[in-house]
Structure 1
């Protein structure tokens, strides 16, 4: 075999080896070179050597197979998210003497402090937002108007550039004073009207929701877990006799020191009639009310 054949064998062997080592890439690229050379021989040199076309296609197919096998053997790519968290800002903080206040006064003073001491503090009172002035470094107080008996909600916001805002809520429960309770009771009692039993019995729907008062003798009374009921006879017949047929069903909350056979006056709101079964098995329907106040004679 002459030197030319040895060189040809060497070149082809090198082409195949590098083709395998390159995972088929050299074979694919080489196939295009062979195809170009075969096209040159066919059209320019007029040499119809079909084996060059076959060689080009074979190199391309083998290279493509090697490349696919190599790609399929690669481990899947894991997409990991960066675990680096942005540095968090320091937090403004509040300290209050208390965040829940119970009072009967018309004004309370809410005292607190803030860190850092040069932070800005704003108070939201309803729809009104006010920036507070510090009484000394980092310490503040707010005079809250609590003229009306209800629960007030005051929102404090502390802020400073470069810091996360702080938010704190202070609740103030304004309870009724003894004078306010007495006035409320008097106003309610004065608004209650006296109605004859026969009128309510005749047209119970007419009186639903109305404020009424009854004076009568307790026929039955029970209290369980802070809830009580009583039946009272409300028609006085003279000589310390009350008509037990003219009875009203009374619901109330809390307790009373009144007992059976006591004379009481009840103030409350009329409801729909109450139906119940008597001890004798009779179905009975009588007027019913929710009592707010009960006075013992």
Structure 2
């Protein structure tokens, strides 16, 4: 009899142990997981980097507002735009489960950065060459009267002018120069607003040569709150002649 009771107690203990093991497995399966293949990745020449790894199947893996879902095996591949050499936070989320986070550090090779810099400079040089080549021919066709009559009609056209600075306003990185572009005897008239991002030695009374593009109508409020409108020129270069 005692032997039978002992066997029953042993069976009950084994049953409890098995239940505890099952509960532990269930608890483990409820935990959201994420594991990255690499914690340091490199962006390519197109400013894209790729993060791969394994997570809880069906979990959503995201960096900011870009996301993918882990497949049935839990693997994922997430591509994102490279912004700068820094760490990006990766979030794994799934309904009714607590989010899990990981971090990947992204860099871009110096050679790639240098190549991009060279391409950007080449594009700027090309654009500047086109402006310089077309500016004077366009200026010969577009008189101040035409420009003043409808500045917006000629917006983004290359343009050239030579004139006298009537006023300079320092807006920090951007300078605003009122320039009279038509010489009439010993005076200058026909004012345009020249908008220039950069540094210039041009001062009131200076004769300048400007290459750039037509901005269109440039409007601003004067000291009395009155709105003034005039043709605007976005300068790519300003040379002080005298």
The alignment's TM-score, normalised by the length of structure 1, stands at 0.43
Match for residue 175 of structure 1?
117
Q: 1:59-116 deviations in whole A, cap 9, x for unaligned? A: xxxxxxxxxxxxxxxxxxxxxx9982316667233143x65xxxxxxxxxx6xxxxxx
CA-CA distance at 1:156 after TM superposition: 4.1
Match for residue 296 of structure 1?
240
CA-CA distance at 1:188 after TM superposition: 2.6
Query: In the alignment, which of 194, 198, 202 is matched to residue 250 of structure 1?
Result: 194
Distance 2:53 2:239 in 1: 52
2:155 paired with 1:208 = yes
Which secondary structure state, in structure 2, belongs to the residue aligned with residue 231 of structure 1?
strand
Q: 1:227-251 deviations in whole A, cap 9, x for unaligned? A: 221101111235xx441x3111122
Distance 1:202 1:85 in 2: 76
Gapped runs of 5+ residues in structure 2? 1-22, 56-71, 83-107
Match for residue 234 of structure 1?
181
CA-CA distance at 1:274 after TM superposition: 3.3
Count of residues paired in the alignment: 164
Distance 2:118 2:182 in 1: 36
Contact 2:212 2:235 survives alignment (8 Å): yes
Distance 1:231 1:283 in 2: 15
The alignment's TM-score, normalised by the length of structure 2, stands at 0.52
The 3 A distance-change label for structure 1 pair 154 and 191 is farther
Contact 2:152 2:215 survives alignment (8 Å): no
2:207 paired with 1:265 = no
Contact 1:208 1:271 survives alignment (8 Å): yes
Aligned 1:1-297 pairs, distance under 5 A: 84-86=27-29, 91-96=35-40, 99=42, 144=44, 146=45, 152-158=47-53, 165=76, 167=78, 169=80, 171=82, 174-177=116-119, 178-192=121-135, 193-194=138-139, 195-237=142-184, 241-243=186-188, 245-262=189-206, 263-274=208-219, 276-277=221-222, 285-297=229-241
Contact 2:164 2:180 survives alignment (8 Å): yes
Distance 2:143 2:78 in 1: 59
Contact 1:269 1:289 survives alignment (8 Å): yes
Gapped runs of 5+ residues in structure 1? 1-80, 100-109, 111-143
Distance 1:284 1:224 in 2: 18
Distance 2:180 2:199 in 1: 20
The 3 A distance-change label for structure 1 pair 216 and 169 is same
RMSD: 3.9
Which secondary structure state, in structure 2, belongs to the residue aligned with residue 257 of structure 1?
coil
> Which structure's residues are more often strand, by fraction?
2
